[in-house]
Structure 1
Amino acid sequence: MKLLLNSKMSSKEESIYIVGRYNKFSRNLCQTPWIIDGVRRMESSVQDLIVNEIEKRVKYEKAKFSACGREDVDVRMLGDGRPFVVELMKPEVNNISDQVLDEIEQEINTNCTEIKVRDLQLTVKEEVKVQLKLGETDKTKRYRALCCINRPLTEMDFQKFQSIKDLTINQKTPIRVLHRRSLLNRPRVIHRISAEKTEDDHKFIIELTTEAGTYIKEFVHGDFGRSTPNLAEIMGDCRTDIIELDVIAITMDWPKTKAIKSATPTEGTKAKIENDCTNDFPCTKRFKHEN
């Protein structure tokens, strides 16, 4: 198999950077290995599924996986996917051909049902630094969430959703991540919300466009008053909670779409998620901790 555009071996000092986008279709898969007190909590991760396939074709000393944000274990990443980068440290080659990158992409997409990847390509360290930083601060994200409420929905509720435009909320560091993140108060912007009814008048679907870094689960259930205004306060006289959540778009024009892409099916951004939930979901349920 031909790995190199240039057959000359590298000095093993410069890293190779592979960028792309991934979709995650599983609600039981972490982005990176989930290790607590030295014990691995889940068998695999998005990182493992991607890096393991790269390792079959390219030898290196160490790999580092980074992405523009992260979704929780039980959240799907749909749409065009999430940008990511794999840094191969001290590789035994100084370049990787487009053919090999396409083979890696095809192998993952053919043999794995939990994730798909697209637009695998090489980049340089300087671009990675700039784009990952921009991804933290400048991008907006779109979500689709199946929610529940402890009273029947009304037309007034849907009118309130439609009236939201560039709403600033304040979110204290969520209780579920306080064990690893500093206690801060973060102002975030909810740009807009649309809503759909379901057959159950205690369940509804919302689609949100938000500022990067917004905690969607906490916006919905309020996190015991730590996120305000939250959805229940906006709707009034109720308690709300989230059943399932999908990221459906990350508005970031990086990496560039490759001119020739492998034909790999992905789930549509309008995938209906209400069919995946159980009918007896209790409003007090909380999601797994973010990995």
Structure 2
Amino acid sequence: MFPLTEEKKHVARLLLDTGTCPRCIFRFCGVDVHAPYRRPYKEFLNELQKFLKTDKDELLLEITNPPPKKMRLQGLEDGTDSPSRNGEGSNTAPEDESSASKNSSLNVCNVCLGILQEFSEREFIKQVCQKVEASGFEFTNLVFSVSFPPQLSVREHAAWLLVKQEMGKQNLSLERNDIIQLKEAYKWITHPLFSEELGVPVDGKSLFEVSVVFAHPETVEDCHFLGTVCPDCFKPAKNKQVKISTSYYLVIAVKFILFCRQFPCPPNSPKAVCTVLEIECAHGAVFVAGRYNKYSRNLPQTPWIIDGERKLESSVEELISDHLLTEFKAESFNFSSSGREDVDVRTLGNGRPFAVELVNPHRIHFTAREIKELQQKINKSSNKIQVRDLQLVTSRAILPWVAALTLCCDHTPLQDLKIDQKTPLRVLHRRPLAVRSRVIHSMETHYVDEHHFRLHLKTQAGTYIKEFVHGDFGRTKPNIGSLMSVTADILELDVEVSQLWSAHLQIQPE
């Protein structure tokens, strides 16, 4: 059974006669059944033509670039005729049919500009899928996104005004939200084709995205009149050029202007379909977490570059992330950790938790054994660091880090020592000048000789340990020197990360 009702027959015939494609006709007639949209275009057109037989049993034939019919949209203006953008009145004679029907085997839709014609067919989807398969990405599902030319909003509005008036003559109403959105119809058609071609479901929550950007240079000026007629909707940002193509402002503008005075209703039929500017594939970031120990006193946590000059050849970040970057075939990475240590400080104990965000990875599937082998590969590559508990995690596993940073000072016992630390001189070039209050939870000393002792500290995260020992010329108060009334300095510093991190970073031990 054909999904159009008899009462919509007049509207469907009008749209087809003015150059609108069958699928857009269904959209304007409010057909929300998916199956008809998925039929091959030629079959779709034939079925519609049969439905729209005239009383003389003659089929309505789709006209290549049909002459636009200038119509008076009553009730939408103040009683005057509706000139086109070229200033032509409603009595303009139609174009010569022979010149209007030159070249083109496809009659390009005056509303969707070919989106629901050429770019909804299986052949185009196959081309996109070939691009996907050649990209080298691993994926188990995908999200398909499209970017349509902004002038489609103007053209759809013009067609809606026309249909709204025609339906009003039959005492029928057509609100803007009664029309099936172009992207919605496109999704109904293309998603099953993608699933069939690639063998995976189309899922809006997928991290793997296939995007297609369309353009239509022939009608790019369709939107330009909006900047003149409704300048308040297109105020330029500071030091930026006005972008009339912003879809959000298009929607606003068409609601506040006498649209039909500035744009032909129905819209003119174009000569060519849209062009595809780009087809791109991208995968959302994946995260790898673990703990590292640093045994070198000549290794920074991150690349040490001052005034554009590299000071040391490597870093903890690079020794770990370079291997991950290669194995995951990612474009780049972002390294983060639960705190940091100076270049001459070792990190012992259970190790410092870290996470690496791998941007646009092409490989994402790893077995537990492969992750274990990757960890061993990192550890064998250098004796300066060791990695443990390496594992794939979600982005949510990284979120508790901020909460964990403050956990150790939530309940301050009486024996805690509060200190004030002005930004140390050694980091003043990269840290804002401020006084930060920190807490020393406990101190324990072990005698070595008359000039040396080992000091074990438990402190609040973010405490500058070196400065607490030597005072930093009085910028940390109190400090070990002032407490003991001596001149104190630090020779070696090792860090042991608290067990509190284990519970709050969601890194599962081996």
CA distances 1:193-231 after superposition (whole Å, capped 9, x unpaired): 000011x21100000000111110000000111100110
The one of 312, 321, 325 equivalent to 1:55 is 325
Q: 2:374: which partner in 1?
A: 104
2:397 alignment partner AA: E
Report SS of the residue matched to 1:242: coil
In structure 2, C-alpha distance between the alignment counterparts of 1:5 and 1:255, rounded to whole Å? 25
Segment of structure 1 superposing worse, 4-13 or 186-195? 4-13
- Root mean square deviation of aligned Cα: 2.2
Alpha-carbon separation, structure 2, partners of 1:120 and 1:103: 10
More strand by share: 1
State yes or no: 1:134 paired with 2:403: yes
Q: Does 1:76 align with 2:346?
A: yes
Q: Structure 1 CA distance, aligned partners of 2:298 and 2:357?
A: 25
Q: Which residue of 1 aligns with 2:287?
A: 17
Indicate conservation of the 8 Å contact 1:17/1:88, yes or no: yes
Contact 1:4–1:94 (Cα < 8 Å) also in 2: yes
2:492 maps to which of 232, 235, 244 = 244
Question: CA 1:139 to 1:68, structure 2 compared with 1: closer, same or farther past 3 Å?
Answer: farther
Task: Write the distance in 2 (CA, Å) between the matches of 1:195 and 1:218.
Answer: 18
Pairing of 1:218-257 with structure 2 (within 5 A): 218-236=467-485, 238-250=486-498, 251-253=500-502, 254-257=505-508
CA contact (8 A) 1:22 1:116 kept: yes
- Relative to the length of structure 1, the TM-score reads 0.74
1:1-291 equivalences in 2 (<5 Å): 10-11=208-209, 12-128=282-398, 130-139=399-408, 165-198=415-448, 200-236=449-485, 238-250=486-498, 251-253=500-502, 254-258=505-509, 261=510
Conservation of the 8 A alpha-carbon contact between 1:119 and 1:255 = no
- TM-score when scaled to structure 2? 0.43
1:32-76 Cα offsets, whole Å, 9 max, x none, are: 111111111110000111112213322011111111110000000
CA–CA separation in structure 2 for the residues paired with 1:105 and 1:4: 22
Which protein is richer in helix relative to its size?
2
Measured in 2, the distance between the counterparts of 1:39 and 1:255 equals 37
Separation in 1 of the partners of 2:354 and 2:344? 19
SS in 2 for 1:63: strand
Maintained 8 Å contact 1:64/1:88: yes
1:244, distance to aligned residue in structure 2 (A): 0.3
| Matches of 2:332 and 2:288, distance apart in 1 | 14
What is the percentage of aligned positions where both structures have the same residue?
A: 46
Which has more radius of gyration? 2
Distance 2:420 2:355 in 1: 31
Q: Give the letter aligned to residue 87 of structure 1.
A: E
**Number of aligned positions between the proteins:** 231
Question: How far 1:100 sits from its partner (Å)?
Answer: 2.0
**Displacement, 1:5?**
9.8
